[in-house]
Amino acid sequence: MNFDYPHNALNGSVVAQKIVSAVASTIGNIPAALHEPSFSGNEWEYIKSCLDSTFVSSVGKFVDRFESDLASYTGAKYAVAVVNGTAALHIALLLAGVQRDEEVLMPSLTFVATANAVRYCGAEPHFIDCEMATLGLAPEPLREHLNTIAEIRSDACFNRQTGRRIRAIIPMHTFGHPVKMDELLRVAKDFKLTLIEDAAESLGSYYYGRHTGTIGLVGTLSFNGNKTITTGGGGAILTNDEALAKKAKHLTTTAKIQHPWSYEHDEVGYNYRLPNLNAALGCAQLEQLPAFLENKRKLYGRYKDSFTDIPGVHIVDEPAGCKSNFWLQTLQLDIGDLAFRNSILEATIAAGYMCRPIWTPMHKLKPYINCSRASLPVTDLLELQLINLPSSASLVKNT
Amino acid sequence: MNFDYPHNALNGSVVAQKIVSAVASTIGNIPAALHEPSFSGNEWEYIKSCLDSTFVSSVGKFVDRFESDLASYTGAKYAVAVVNGTAALHIALLLAGVQRDEEVLMPSLTFVATANAVRYCGAEPHFIDCEMATLGLAPEPLREHLNTIAEIRSDACFNRQTGRRIRAIIPMHTFGHPVKMDELLRVAKDFKLTLIEDAAESLGSYYYGRHTGTIGLVGTLSFNGNKTITTGGGGAILTNDEALAKKAKHLTTTAKIQHPWSYEHDEVGYNYRLPNLNAALGCAQLEQLPAFLENKRKLYGRYKDSFTDIPGVHIVDEPAGCKSNFWLQTLQLDIGDLAFRNSILEATIAAGYMCRPIWTPMHKLKPYINCSRASLPVTDLLELQLINLPSSASLVKNT
């Protein structure tokens, strides 16, 4: 990294103008959202068919088809469609057996839903550092931290400092870039932890040829309006385990036992089923995913070219051995300085380009400030270095 | 009630055939769902406009309009649209201050979502009996039960038997028939309890001129596919309290603090916002609600006429002083006998008329079997007496 680059706010504004110009040369002189969907396929036809059938709600052919199409696309044996990615995370944690007053390891650098879902189970997040190579959970610091604070008793992992059982670990594939799954799975195995993949951002991303979300015990997807494909609101649970898939469907449909008329529910369930109306949109969107991914990769290449000659910044690449969906294009600043970062955000937003910093790390948020955590130096640095650029697949058409 | 009527299964099948004939004479010789939606208004136009705008997700004009239209229709000062009725209940309980290990009073005779939402808060349901006049929570038995088990300490109500605080009470307007709100509000006041209305089934129902869901501190609605109007999946929170409405919006949108770019969340929030796509459907449906209600009232009148001459059964009327939406038409058997009830269900379903018993009462469900409860004689009787008949508003067109 080029630490010689001056980084006060004044120079920040000079750099910011170069960045605005580079964005303009990549996507044109138009206002641009951070990520907006494109409906140029069979969306209208499928939704009309859904309305005509009157099956718009929790039963209908598009839900079944969307689940089947998702399984087929990702290579997961089973996919269960749910109302959003947060619901998918909540159910995934329950499938992993997470219980009240247990702990779940996760990156501090994630969207708040990952931590919230742990709290929905009555459990506590426990934050681990990220690494530069993937922007995701760092296997070696995780192992070192567990060596320090964890002990194995009766084939289960306990936090010696809090006395609580550590049940699971949830890596998240940041902006679509896969984390080092093999290394993380080894840590999980060594410490008797269940690995759940938060693949909310990485539909279409592959880790050494395997689709993200299909490598851990359970994976979760999101189809929120800002994602690579959207169902309005929606998500899915992926797994290769038939019993877990059945359990996921049961828990997401109020735990009702099938019967011609009787209303029996055998455990506390959830109303998390994706409506057929939203699944209809998802079926049409999924058909266009290969084209979206191709355009997003092109956009990455164009951003990369545009930013080559600006010193002190670079466009984040896909990790070694991986194919990223490039959900959000990411500019990384060599230095971590809040005023410098903010001056760039202000300039790009003022120019009509919707840019965003990465999330405030979980360990700095009020509801999670007292949670257990490892040392988080890379997280703290990345928070100041990362800026997402307009990333819609449709932007490649404008140049 | 006519207890002379013979009620073994054999005679049950004779009665069942009379009931099948009465249903056929009311809605025609066609297979009929229990309740299906009708999309004959602006559904397509609004959804197309939503797709064309690309704002299908958590932001968009239809969400704002649907909330405004709901407030206007119900007379609530504020309405917050959410992803389903269960989510609305969960947030309503949080708004009422329900905390882990507290208790919430509710009818045992309700859909399982009411009890589940209490568990989502880490709290415990506590079941109370219903009454014949409304099929809903019975004010006097509730008061007697509280006189027996409750004590007031420091301006709060405690269950002497469990030691837990009793925080709130949730009556539910069964099949759209309003409960006795004035009497329940008096009990709530006397025992320092917050009253939340589960109006999931009662959009369009009025208690002495006031719309259900607007009388307690907070009310909840559902727009599931089987409800009077549908958004695919959806619900809403109603309140006249500005601070609670703001809190509801905050909690349902991940508790994110508004800022041009920063991701700050100041408490554990939820991803419960209704997608704009679903709100578009809701706006079109709400425009047709008066016509749906008129048809459902006509259907009630026709069922009533058809069943007049069948001894031992009657169609449930709206309670005194109330205007019911007649969401589900309900046949009540004079006697409570499982074999008798089931023989009727079997015959009507075999004839193509989708009928249903009322829900299994909560105190008989595995997850809630050990919860605190009052004596529940009317609940146990109603479980065996009530059968819902095909109730779609569109059925009046077939006669």
Q: What's the ipTM?
A: 0.94
- Phi, psi torsion values for A387, nearest 5 degrees: -135, 125
**What sign has the CA pseudo-torsion A59, A60, A64, A66?**
negative
Angstrom CA distances, B327 to B32, B308, B352, stand at 15, 21, 20
Helix (H, G, I), strand (E, B) or coil at A265: strand
Query: Per residue in A338-348, pLDDT tens?
Result: 999 999 999 99
Mean pLDDT of B302-328: 97
Length of chain B: 399
Q: Calculate the average pLDDT of chain A.
A: 95
DSSP per residue over A218-255, as a string?
A: EEEEE--TTSSS--SS-EEEEES-HHHHHHHHHHHBTT
Interface size, chain A vs chain B, as Cβ–Cβ contacts under 8 Å = 187
Pairing of strands A165-169, A194-198: parallel
Q: Check whether A6 has a pLDDT greater than 70.
A: no
What is d(CA A139, CA B101) in angstroms, rounded to the nearest whole number?
A: 38
Give the DSSP H/E element, type plus range, for residue B184. Answer: helix B181-190
pLDDT for residue A4: 45
pLDDT for residue B399: 44
* Contact residues, chain B, for A366 at CB < 8 Å: 265-267
Pairing of strands A156-159, A150-153: antiparallel
Q: Check whether B69 has a pLDDT greater than 50.
A: yes
Q: Check whether B8 has a pLDDT greater than 80.
A: no
Encode A171-197: b = buried (16+ Cβ within 10 Å), e = exposed.
Answer: bbbbbbbbbbbeebbebbeebbbbbbb
Mean pLDDT of B128-146: 98
| Crossing angle (nearest 10°) for helices B338-350 and B377-385 | 30
- Written as six digits, the tokens of A92 are 């995934």
Query: Per residue in B182-198, pLDDT tens?
Result: 999 999 999 999 999 99
Pairing of strands A210-211, A206-207: antiparallel
CB atoms under 10 Å from CB of B369, counted, come to 10
Query: Per residue in A268-283, pLDDT tens?
Result: 999 999 999 999 999 9
| Strand order across the beta sheet in which B386-389 lies | B313-315, B329-333, B386-389, B356-357
Contact B119 A270 (CB under 8 A): no
- Write down all domains in chain B, each with its CATH number in brackets: 9-38+289-398 (3.90.1150.10), 43-287 (3.40.640.10)
Contact A365 B266 (CB under 8 A): yes
What is d(CA B255, CA B251) in angstroms, rounded to the nearest whole number?
A: 5
Whether this model's pTM surpasses 0.90: yes
Tell me the β-bridge partners of A124: A103
DSSP per residue over A162-198, as a string?
A: T--EEEEE--B-GGG----HHHHHHHHHHTT-EEEEE
Measure in Å the smallest separation between the Cα of A215 and chain B Cα atoms: 26
* Contact by Cβ (8 Å): A223, A320: no
- Written as six digits, the tokens of B35 are 């309740």
* Contact by Cβ (8 Å): A44, A342: no
- Written as six digits, the tokens of A162 are 């809090």
Residue B59: band (very low, low, confident or very high) from pLDDT cuts 50, 70, 90: confident
Q: Check whether B200 has a pLDDT greater than 70.
A: yes
Minimum-distance CB partner of A359 among B57, B263, B277: B263
State the amino acid at position B76 in one-letter form: A
Contact A271 B59 (CB under 8 A): no
* Contact residues, chain A, for B275 at CB < 8 Å: 225, 232-233, 278
Pairing of strands A103-107, A313-315: unpaired
Measure in Å the smallest separation between the Cα of A206 and chain B Cα atoms: 26
Q: For A51, which residue in chain B has the nearest alpha carbon?
A: B39
pLDDT for residue B13: 82
| Crossing angle (nearest 10°) for helices B61-74 and B276-287 | 40
DSSP alpha helix (H) spans, chain A: 9-27, 43-53, 61-74, 85-95, 112-120, 139-149, 181-190, 242-252, 276-287, 289-307, 338-350, 377-385
Q: For A356, which residue in chain B has the nearest alpha carbon?
A: B261
What is d(CA A274, CA A50) in angstroms, rounded to the nearest whole number?
A: 14
pLDDT for residue A399: 44
What is d(CA A349, CA A20) in angstroms, rounded to the nearest whole number?
A: 9
Nearest to A273 by CA among B119, B42, B84, B163: B84
Nearest to B84 by CA among B235, B256, B191: B235
Pairing of strands B356-357, B386-389: antiparallel
* Contact residues, chain A, for B281 at CB < 8 Å: 56, 277
Measure in Å the smallest separation between the Cα of B57 and chain A Cα atoms: 4
* Contact by Cβ (8 Å): A220, A184: no
